[in-house]
Amino acid sequence: MKKLSLIIFIIVAFLGNSTFASSVETNSLTKGKWLNKSDGYKLNANTDKTVERYKAITFSTDQTFVLDSVKVKYNGEWSVLGNLIYLEFNDSNVKTKIAKIENDLLVIGKDAYNLRSGAFAGLVNFYEFTGFPNATPGHLLMVLIGIFFIFLAIRYNYEPLLLIPIGVGIIIGNIPFYQAEGFNLQLGIYEEGSVMSYLYFGVRQGIYPPLIFLGIGAMTDFSSLISNPKLMILGAAAQIGIFLTFLGALVLGFGPAEAGAIGIIGGADGPTAIFLSSKLAPHLIGPIAIAAYSYMALVPIIQPPFMRLIVSKKERLIRMKPPRSVSKLEKIMFPIVGLLLTAYISPSALPLLGMLFFGNLLKESTVTNRLAETARNSLIDIVTILLGITVGASTQADVFLTSQSMWIFGLGALSFVVATCGGLLFAKLMNVFLKGDNKINPLIGAAGVSAVPDSARVVQHEGLKADPTNHLLMHAMAPNVSGVIGSAVAAGILLSFLM
């Protein structure tokens, strides 16, 4: 009896499917495009965030169909059996799918497709590729930050040569575009094969920083440092910012290599920070570079309160002995001896130190004026443009806005403060041992953080505030340029310890 009822049920079900139920009208299938919008598409391999994306199926009268999804385009043949549509894919890896029409919707598994005209589907496709549907609050926030950088550069003249390229780079990097895992439009800086990605190669591989150092070497006059070598120690003292920030990052749970890359922000030297982070923590280059350059631009705001706090009014009035004139032989010997000594102690910093001293020898030798001119003008300008724009563009919101970046910004600010205080306190300590007109104005200790020439300019400004006739700029340049050497040596040491 049970068998009989089962047979009757199967016959009824079969007849119901083939005879009584309405069969699919082929005209309704082929008169437009079937669109589906569903969630579950990952933006890229590095994130778990998913977004909604469109899929479209086009049925042709010659019994073929095209399923156009985010990643690939599938072709196949369709056939109707009763109210079911069989989709056989040309790709043998894709199983045959069965679709049916319910309430004017084409249902394939869990996905429901709406019938739309070809023109509407085209518009939807165009809209999906514009910035509007892909924008997130993160993108908008970063664009505002980019505009703020440009504002600071134009309104207050804070490092305009850096902040304008970086600001524009931030805007470029945060123009939202269509993204999906396995789908490469070759637009974004993190997409392989894009123009921005090729330009960013120089940052990722640490090519730009040594070229910047070549230009810095060719434009720096080390004579104030050679005339009063003891001021060089202030450049070493201020590097305490690097090592304390390194410890701070370790405490916060960053790995040793990441902590080293974050610590170098305290060196207040953008190229050095990029060079070290490209070797130790390439995934953190963006936040580290932005932190380093932003705080360098904000040196006139960060340093003065600590200078006034640590250095007394009486000490700020100290007049320093004018530097002696330095012979040409000494100036030529400095890059050669300096390179030999520092590179032997820290060979890992050779790309930076080598280029810095090479650039300086081009300048001081006076027989390679053409090369020195190119290094300090055209070359450094070109590299600055490329570096600024790509570092800015690397702040793509979905990669950049993480809690790690926020911690890096916090640590970066702290490292600048520690470095400034370290230089000032050491200058005060030096004064304990110096006598008579050899005493130094402790304000120049703040210039030991490098950030050439901004921190020296801040020292001059603060010195003039205390005594309008006391010019400290030349004296401050000595710890300032020794800070550059010191931070490059520190980068080499961290590299050899942590890599």
- Rule CB under 8 A: which residues touch other proteins? 223, 225-227, 229-230, 232-233, 235-237, 239-240, 242-244, 246-248, 250-253, 256, 259-260, 322-325, 327, 329-330, 333-334, 337-338, 341-342, 345-346, 403-404, 407, 474, 482, 485-486, 489-490, 493-494, 497-498
| Interatomic CA distance for residues 386 and 55, integer angstroms | 38
What minimum distance in Å lies between the beta carbon of 411 and other proteins? Answer: 11
Count of beta carbons in the 10 Å neighbourhood of residue 19: 9
| Interatomic CA distance for residues 289 and 435, integer angstroms | 41
| Interatomic CA distance for residues 227 and 327, integer angstroms | 10
What minimum distance in Å lies between the beta carbon of 344 and other proteins? Answer: 9
What minimum distance in Å lies between the beta carbon of 323 and other proteins? Answer: 4
- Closest CB to other proteins among residues 162, 237: 237
What minimum distance in Å lies between the beta carbon of 478 and other proteins? Answer: 11
What minimum distance in Å lies between the beta carbon of 493 and other proteins? Answer: 5
Tokens of 321: 């002995």
Find tokens 């000032």 and name the residue: 424
- Closest CB to other proteins among residues 150, 216: 216
- Closest CB to other proteins among residues 327, 369: 327
- Closest CB to other proteins among residues 297, 495: 495
Burial of 282 from C-beta contacts in 10 A (0-12 / 13-18 / 19+)? middle
- Closest CB to other proteins among residues 181, 330: 330
The phi and psi torsions of 286 (rounded to 5 degrees) equal: -55, -65
| Interatomic CA distance for residues 407 and 252, integer angstroms | 8
The residue type found at 227 is S
- Closest CB to other proteins among residues 34, 334: 334
- Closest CB to other proteins among residues 214, 320: 320
- Give 42's DSSP letter: E
What minimum distance in Å lies between the beta carbon of 376 and other proteins? Answer: 21
What minimum distance in Å lies between the beta carbon of 238 and other proteins? Answer: 10
Burial of 312 from C-beta contacts in 10 A (0-12 / 13-18 / 19+)? exposed
